[in-house]
Amino acid sequence: MKTIMVTGGRGMLGHAVEQVVGEEPRAGSRFEFVDIEEGDLTDKVATRALFERVRPHGVIHLAADVGGLYKNVAQGVEMFENNLLMNMHVMQCCREFGVEKLVSCLSTCVFPEQTLCPHITLPIDETVVHMGPPHPSNEGYAYAKRMVDVQSRYYRRQYGRNFISLAPTNIFGPHDNYSPEHSHVIPALIRKCDEAMRGGTDFVVWGSGKPLRQFVYSPDLARLFLWAFFHYDEADPLILAPGPEQEVSIGQIAQHVANAFGYAKPIVFDTNYSDGQHRRTVTNQKLMSRYPEFRFTPLAEAIKASVAWFQANRTTARL
Ligand code: GFB
């Protein structure tokens, strides 16, 4: 029986992996979901103690200090340092404890910002990770996450470890973080539209609503992570996102959320707030060439399910 440890086990993606693992039990593998209570990965001693206890054969490393645009702007130091520390400690312990496979995360926000890098054309693919500076709004997080690619490749080359890195686009789904200052856009809009419906107030979207994003529903991403754990063994990162044709504006996302709640008043856009990165269109050609049969949940359906989860779990959701 092989133990696969999932860090960040009580986060949004951790919950989604647990849900998906339950869908199709895998003979010979048992999953152990751990979170900060079992060991603070920014602390090397605590990280070693966790590996000592669990003795994993595989690790799916989801734990990270994450947040939306406004948290990244406010806490660049912590986003840089906490993620560097967690990723370094996990990789060091994976080598020390002989872990056979490690899956770590980048993000599509790590790629070069096209307006600063005229040589970069959209849609972006996995080959350009280090070919220019990321968008200033999340530079700290982006550089920390870029080191996941560097460190994974070094461990492969120098120690022969099967470490891989995956680059999800913006994630949303049940068990998200809904805090006003720190959350990503979709959970923020879900919380705000819920408050507007219950308080009879306006549904206010920050910024112009014009920026464009590709979004991935957390259960879909969990299936992709599990597929990659068992079937993707290449050195280079793999983008996990719906295709460029699925790119939507923040305004369109807000309308999906409003439709899911039945909010019928006008949506208000508060342009006193910054828009952040305008677009970061990525291609999923490499993923589709490796896993052509995979299908993403339609966005409107995924948002409706995420809204329904929040309405049913409002009192216990991470606010
Ligand atoms: O998910 P988000 O916060 O971050 O989305 P990024 C920011 C976009 O949504 C901006 C608009 O255009 C905001 O103006 N927006 C509208 C809102 N209303 C709100 C709101 O109430 N809250 C928030 N947060 N946004 C993230 C990175 O960038 O991308 C992360 O910061 C991560 O590190 C993620 O990499 C994938 O999409 O701009």
Q: What is the pLDDT of residues 111-125, one digit of tens each?
A: 999 999 999 999 999
Which pLDDT score is estimated for 11? 97
Does any ligand 1 atom lie closer than 6 A to the CB of residue 188? yes
Q: Structural domain of residue 79, as residue ranges?
A: 2-176+214-244+281-296
Which pLDDT score is estimated for 112? 98
CATH code of 152's domain: 3.40.50.720
Q: Each residue of 128-137: pLDDT tens digit?
A: 999 999 999 9
Q: Is the pLDDT of residue 263 over 90?
A: yes
Ligand 1, from 13, 62, 69: best to mutate by most atoms within 8 Å of Cβ? 69
Q: Is the pLDDT of residue 25 over 80?
A: no
Asked if residue 272 is part of any domain, the answer here is no
Q: Residues 154-160: what's their mean pLDDT?
A: 98
DSSP 120-137: --SSB-GGGTTSS---GG
The answer to whether 29 and 2 are in contact (CB under 8 A) is yes
Q: Residues 7-24: what's their mean pLDDT?
A: 95
Does any ligand 1 atom lie closer than 6 A to the CB of residue 216? no
Asked if residue 288 is part of any domain, the answer here is yes
Which pLDDT score is estimated for 24? 81
Q: Each residue of 89-101: pLDDT tens digit?
A: 999 999 999 999 9
Ligand 1 centre distance from Cα of residue 154 (Å)? 32
State the closest ligand 1 atom to the C-alpha of 170, by its place in the atom list counted from 1: 36
Which is catalytic among the residues 141, 155, 217, 263?
Answer: 141
Q: Residues 155-181: what's their mean pLDDT?
A: 97
Q: What is the pTM of this model?
A: 0.98
- Percent of the chain topping pLDDT 70: 100
The answer to whether 288 and 294 are in contact (CB under 8 A) is yes
What's the number of domains the chain is made of?
1
Q: Is the pLDDT of residue 23 over 90?
A: no
Catalytic (active site) residue 263: no
Ligand 1 centre distance from Cα of residue 230 (Å)? 31
User: Shortest CA distance to 144 belongs to which of 190, 84, 195, 101?
Assistant: 84
Instruction: Find all residues with CB under 8 Å of 177, minimum gap 6, and list them.
Output: 12, 66, 67, 183, 184, 187, 318
User: Which stretches within 64-138 are classed as H helix?
Assistant: 69-74, 76-96
Q: Is the pLDDT of residue 205 over 80?
A: yes
CA–CA gap between residue 136 and residue 243 (Å, rounded): 25
Q: Is the pLDDT of residue 197 over 90?
A: yes
The answer to whether 3 and 48 are in contact (CB under 8 A) is no
Ligand 1, from 124, 170, 185, 193: best to mutate by most atoms within 8 Å of Cβ? 185
Asked if residue 58 is part of any domain, the answer here is yes
Asked if residue 8 is part of any domain, the answer here is yes
Does any ligand 1 atom lie closer than 6 A to the CB of residue 214? no
Q: Each residue of 216-258: pLDDT tens digit?
A: 999 999 999 999 999 999 999 999 999 999 999 999 999 999 9
pLDDT, averaged across the chain = 97
Asked if residue 106 is part of any domain, the answer here is yes
Instruction: Find all residues with CB under 8 Å of 35, minimum gap 6, and list them.
Output: 7, 8, 9, 10, 11, 14, 63
Ligand 1 centre distance from Cα of residue 184 (Å)? 5
Q: Is the pLDDT of residue 65 over 90?
A: yes
Asked if residue 203 is part of any domain, the answer here is no
Ligand 1 centre distance from Cα of residue 68 (Å)? 5
Does any ligand 1 atom lie closer than 6 A to the CB of residue 83? no
Ligand 1 centre distance from Cα of residue 209 (Å)? 11
Which pLDDT score is estimated for 12? 98
Laid out side by side, the sheet with 238-240 consists of: 29-33, 2-7, 58-61, 101-105, 162-168, 238-240
Band (pLDDT 50/70/90 cuts) for residue 22 is confident
Asked if residue 304 is part of any domain, the answer here is no
Q: Around 19, how many Cα atoms within 13 Å sit in the side-chain half-sphere?
A: 16
Q: Residues 156-171: what's their mean pLDDT?
A: 98
Asked if residue 26 is part of any domain, the answer here is yes
Which pLDDT score is estimated for 132? 98
